[in-house]
Structure 1
């Protein structure tokens, strides 16, 4: 009921026309002035119809002029002529019916458009409008950035290029953030003790400390200061499960906070934040019109001419002017003027619901014609970061390390850290692979190197396995015996982090000096101290001589413990779990030409290509080589042309034999190639903004399965649009021919015309349905 009321508010002439039916009927024969006007003697009820007709005609003409000013073809002239002709021949009830159909058509168009844009509108409505700026003394942009909490955070988060006592600094950051967060919660409970002020989101400045209350939308991009937070990212990347983040993590505008208030530091202004980039894409898509929709507008002109010809012939042959009106009340260009754009807007919304944003509806049309797809390898066909596949230990790794030093949650090797004595002759641990991964993963948490995330992920899994081993009775870690207060969630104590860019990173973990990085970097201390085997040769300090060679697709990082080389962590690109299946689906859609373009060496590229099912591989390419390879696809010919493209080509002479190439990459270092292709598709996880600058299509949920899904949605959208248009126009022409032979009265024809509109528009809306 509320929707009906809202619709009537947007189209007020619809309820007015309906309500007027009663006084029109009651006053149909009422002529207080008598019959002084002769044959042209409308009654008072008929004058009400004339008034409705006059208003409708004027409003329609104004709308046509406005359409022309905005570059759209205004062909509502059929409605204007139909209404005037029915009045001219004295078919007043038919005129009222046509007026009713005009305004009901307006209401149907409003409903269809809002329904088609529903997914896009939901994104826009979710945009943050206000922000809570923390007003505690010494906190925020006005404090000079000297407060311990924020300063501590900077040390912890940027522990590169210098040293950082992460144990101390992270504690201080958490403490400061917790204080702010608790004060924020207090301010919610008591309006007399407010510790933030609410401002429009546009007024947030860089480094402002913001409070985000439970259930609120994060207003701008920033960094989390509180200990942890739970964020719903479904508006950003469609991720259905809320994500838990911790102090120092990036928080994005558009994410919805969970049940606990948190504090964050603004790192972007409102107009530069992630959600604003998404809204720009949405707005661009809403305001654009696909070529096929523009073509539909143009086709409405010859349809208007055909309708007028049929009406004139019917009048001329029969000699009855009423036939002219009977034909025109059935002439409806709505399948062209409404159904076509509604279908494309519905398709755009369907893509958005699937986590795929496009810059313009033109892209949606071209997506359905893609014939050649180029894939970047790393981060596109493979997972974003190389993954750990194995750990190679040296035989004497960890032989001189006390067992207590390997404890996961302890402070380390002696009484000064663990709080208990270490007996003389205490057992020594032989560090295993999980210990190496755990220690390396903890240190790599503070690195910005491309390999760090894969090691961090493997280290976290190793830490869980070590905990499980202890829980099952394995006492090699000797953890509770020396640390009775240990909790499973305790994190190793980290100090003195230092990263040498491009070489490696080192730090102290539970009292052990850990170095992770290049072979020369982690063995430098060993070389400097002369700690090499008595029988050592120069080859002993080359990695292959110590561990053996690597496969073409493998890479390695090395780990030293207390200055002594201990292990090699082997990593490699691994295909996305659903990459092969997604490529098979593309072939099922008829896209047979699939190519990998990469700067990697041929052997490693071939390994990934074979695993995902790509035979066309271009490896060892510089960025300009990739661009040239993609551009060369323009010389290809389309082998199979869809029937709907052949129809459009016949109607408007538009050539659809030119191939459409698409490049799929991560949107950052692939920017030149994304721009060179006919369609650039960037795969992101919703956390990058560079993609929107270089790509026409942005996948927000980092799922390669969205590539075939996008093409399937685009093709179905175009198919539905053409079905709605062809069906609507065919029914209209059949109806006009019948009316020309006096088989359909004017009043009945007006209702049939509205039925044709409803059928075509509702069919266009089926583009919203998930049937790919």
Structure 2
């Protein structure tokens, strides 16, 4: 009953029209004038509302083309096809109900994101978090201590105070598997708490928090209209002219105005006016469900035409941080080994203290430590007396061990003299370790006065980078380029591993942007006449190179803005890159790059199919009506059936398909 009630609230005239059939039918034979007056009354109401709606649409910048419905209503009354007029009114209001349903269905994924936005925050009145006051999320200030109870949505971005928390990040980045965060780590708004209450120190106000940025993108996408939909609106004008010509010719040949009415009750521009925007809204929602947000539906149209993709190397084709590939022990001819600790244990200890560091190598060391942690139940997570020397390293006490991690001179400061052979203190890492290749980097660790190891890291390709690039080639996007500021050896190594032949290295951000701009103009004189004609309606060439830049870091922002489409890969966080991009991948998965293009193409294909099917059936129906094969009443019913078919077809843009 609830769906029926919702329809009645949205389209209140629909139940009125349906119920009016009872008095019309009862009075049809004994009191025909009463029946006719009832029909005339509901037609008058329908005409008034339709004209008002047309004016409103025109003021909002839309075509507002319901001329055919107006003419059909007037013509059916003029030829005294009262039941046909009643059916047309029913079709107008039921069409409005179907349109509302289709719009709601198409944007259901977007609506879920908006409805899940947190509104209440529990602000603690003491440091322990035992007592709190419920306030609007907009009242939260930076530094406030918040309490997040089990099953609740994190209201603002903040830092975890308690030991650990399990969070459902699906609303933020589409990840189906819960993520565990630890004390001192960032927690994003929109995350859903697991089964244990935790405390959070607010680091952003609500308006600047991650989930609010997601909401802003969703609202922007909902309110936008792609060029192809605007073109569909314009195409409704010649369709109306064609319909009137068919109806006029039928009237002239048959010498009866009834034939004119029979044709027009079948004329429906709804496949253009409704099915096209529904398809694009459905495609936008499907992207959101996949963890891909776009800033406007215009982007969805352009995304399907991408022909040249540029990739940043670090953090995009490779992991977001260098990864630990091995541990090197120092030369034992220079350092006495007094440390009874395995490489695995050293990695765990280093990872625990690096969890408190902001250094670029820290996340890779933390990740390596997490992998080995279960092997060492004797090592506790507790880290005490932590101090970080900016640009040098970090030190603290880990499970009873004094640990220092960082640059070689910084680490050697705490190495005991009695482990140095000949009491000579090395000043260069080359005295204790072999030279590193150009594509590797290292940091050093001392434990309890002993130089324990050199931790070697490398910028490794993502495990699925090569697969994603192969999928791009399989869908026809064969022009792939890697842009990086790295040195030739590191750049070529990664390019070879992921399968990119066109690699450009040692580039500054502006040079990257220039490379993308140059690619946009590679085929300026290869536009056929029909493409130049389409430019007048769509606004840009359909055959020129359409560029897309995929990146993640702050220094990617200029080049993201220079491409036709800037695509930012994030782990659910807001960066300068994502703010400059038109497409944001929220789950940091490079396989979403080809997936986004596939969804965009499928959306446009579904839209075109819905439009062609709807208009094709309408034209066939009008021709049949012109030949007196379809009575006016049946034609009005068939018109609504055509609308339903085209709109339902447009909604299939929500369905997941591989290609």
1:96 and 2:86 correspond? yes
Pick from 192, 198, 206 the counterpart of residue 270 of structure 1: 206
1:329 and 2:265 correspond? yes
Aligned to 1:439: 349
Pick the structure with greater CA Rg.
Answer: 1
Is the 2:555–2:577 Cα contact (8 Å) retained in structure 1?
no
1:534 and 2:422 correspond? yes
Aligned equivalents of 1:645, 1:101: Cα separation in 2: 38
Aligned equivalents of 1:638, 1:354: Cα separation in 2: 35
Q: TM-score, normalised by structure 2?
A: 0.95
Pick from 358, 361, 380 the counterpart of residue 448 of structure 1: 358
1:116 and 2:106 correspond? yes
Aligned to 1:19: 19
TM-superposed CA distance for 1:313, in Å, is 1.4
Q: TM-score, normalised by structure 1?
A: 0.81
Q: Which deviates further from its counterpart, 101-110 or 387-396?
A: 387-396
TM-superposed CA distance for 1:198, in Å, is 1.9
TM-superposed CA distance for 1:378, in Å, is 0.8
Tell me: CA distance 1:460–1:400, structure 2 relative to 1, closer, same or farther (3 Å): farther
Aligned to 2:120: 130
1:378 and 2:314 correspond? yes
Aligned to 2:560: 674
Question: Per-residue displacement from partner, 1:469-492 (whole Å, max 9, x unpaired)?
Answer: xxxxxxxxxxxxxxxxxxx6x615
Aligned to 1:190: none
1:731 and 2:650 correspond? no
Pick from 636, 643, 647 the counterpart of residue 750 of structure 1: 636
Give the superposed CA RMSD: 2.5
Aligned equivalents of 1:548, 1:641: Cα separation in 2: 58
TM-superposed CA distance for 1:765, in Å, is 0.5
Q: Which runs of 5+ in 1 are unaligned?
A: 32-41, 140-175, 184-194, 402-427, 468-487
Is the 1:131–1:210 Cα contact (8 Å) retained in structure 2?
yes
Tell me: CA distance 1:112–1:370, structure 2 relative to 1, closer, same or farther (3 Å): same
Aligned to 1:43: 33
1:491 and 2:380 correspond? yes
Question: Per-residue displacement from partner, 1:602-623 (whole Å, max 9, x unpaired)?
Answer: 1011111111100100111111
Partner SS for 1:466: coil
Question: Per-residue displacement from partner, 1:245-302 (whole Å, max 9, x unpaired)?
Answer: 2322222221112222222222211111111100000000000000000000010011
Aligned to 1:709: 595
Is the 2:415–2:449 Cα contact (8 Å) retained in structure 1?
yes
Tell me: CA distance 1:30–1:690, structure 2 relative to 1, closer, same or farther (3 Å): farther
Aligned to 2:304: 368
Aligned equivalents of 1:492, 1:13: Cα separation in 2: 66
Matches within 5 A, 1:309-708: 309-396=245-332, 429-467=339-377, 491=380, 493-525=382-414, 532-534=420-422, 541-637=427-523, 655-708=541-594
Aligned equivalents of 2:249, 2:382: Cα separation in 1: 92
Partner SS for 1:682: strand
Aligned to 1:420: none
Q: Which deviates further from its counterpart, 671-680 or 518-527?
A: 518-527
TM-superposed CA distance for 1:111, in Å, is 0.7
Aligned equivalents of 1:663, 1:374: Cα separation in 2: 5
Question: Per-residue displacement from partner, 1:669-709 (whole Å, max 9, x unpaired)?
Answer: 21111111110000011123434411100000010010000
Aligned to 1:28: 28
Aligned equivalents of 1:734, 1:433: Cα separation in 2: 77
TM-superposed CA distance for 1:651, in Å, is 8.1
TM-superposed CA distance for 1:235, in Å, is 0.7
Aligned equivalents of 2:56, 2:62: Cα separation in 1: 9
Aligned equivalents of 1:398, 1:436: Cα separation in 2: 20
Is the 1:346–1:767 Cα contact (8 Å) retained in structure 2?
yes
Tell me the matched-pair count. 657
Aligned equivalents of 2:354, 2:588: Cα separation in 1: 24
TM-superposed CA distance for 1:14, in Å, is 1.4
Aligned equivalents of 2:307, 2:9: Cα separation in 1: 47
Aligned equivalents of 2:34, 2:383: Cα separation in 1: 91
TM-superposed CA distance for 1:761, in Å, is 0.6
Question: Per-residue displacement from partner, 1:363-405 (whole Å, max 9, x unpaired)?
Answer: 000000000101011111111111100011125499878xxxx
Aligned equivalents of 2:526, 2:638: Cα separation in 1: 39
Aligned equivalents of 1:115, 1:704: Cα separation in 2: 28
Q: Which runs of 5+ in 2 are unaligned?
A: none
TM-superposed CA distance for 1:532, in Å, is 4.8
Q: Which deviates further from its counterpart, 550-559 or 739-748?
A: 550-559
Question: Per-residue displacement from partner, 1:350-372 (whole Å, max 9, x unpaired)?
Answer: 00000000000000000000001
Aligned to 1:60: 50
TM-superposed CA distance for 1:85, in Å, is 0.5
Is the 2:547–2:563 Cα contact (8 Å) retained in structure 1?
yes
Partner SS for 1:299: helix
Aligned to 1:762: 648
Is the 1:515–1:563 Cα contact (8 Å) retained in structure 2?
no
Aligned to 1:405: none
Question: Per-residue displacement from partner, 1:35-87 (whole Å, max 9, x unpaired)?
Answer: xxxxxxx6111111111100100000011011001100011011011001100
Aligned equivalents of 1:205, 1:430: Cα separation in 2: 48
Q: Which deviates further from its counterpart, 223-232 or 648-657?
A: 648-657
Aligned to 1:476: none
Aligned to 1:283: 219
Aligned equivalents of 2:437, 2:357: Cα separation in 1: 26
